[in-house]
Amino acid sequence: MVILTKLNGKEIMLNDALIEAVSETPDTVITMSNGHSYIVQESIEEIFRRIVGFNRASRARTRDDRREDRS
């Protein structure tokens, strides 16, 4: 899940696994696999960084949980 900012300044949380496409037209438009679209303030590069950061943190938590289970 990534937190992004709509054009009106309100934050939304999107499931990154359901993102189908991101384009800049010049606004950044996110199209989800269910057909819904969102226009956000963040650039494509920033969205990519947030998704990568979220996925890295998720994997790190999973590894930590596995280590605790072995203890």
9-36 per-position pLDDT tens digit: 999 999 999 999 999 999 999 999 999 9
Rounded to an integer, what is the distance from CA 1 to the centroid of its chain? Answer: 5
Q: Which pTM value belongs to this model? A: 0.80
On whether the CB atoms of residues 55 and 47 are closer than 8 A, the answer is no
pLDDT of residue 10: 98
- Domain of residue 60 covers 2-70
Strands 2-5 and 28-32, bridge-based pairing: unpaired
Total of domains in the chain? 1
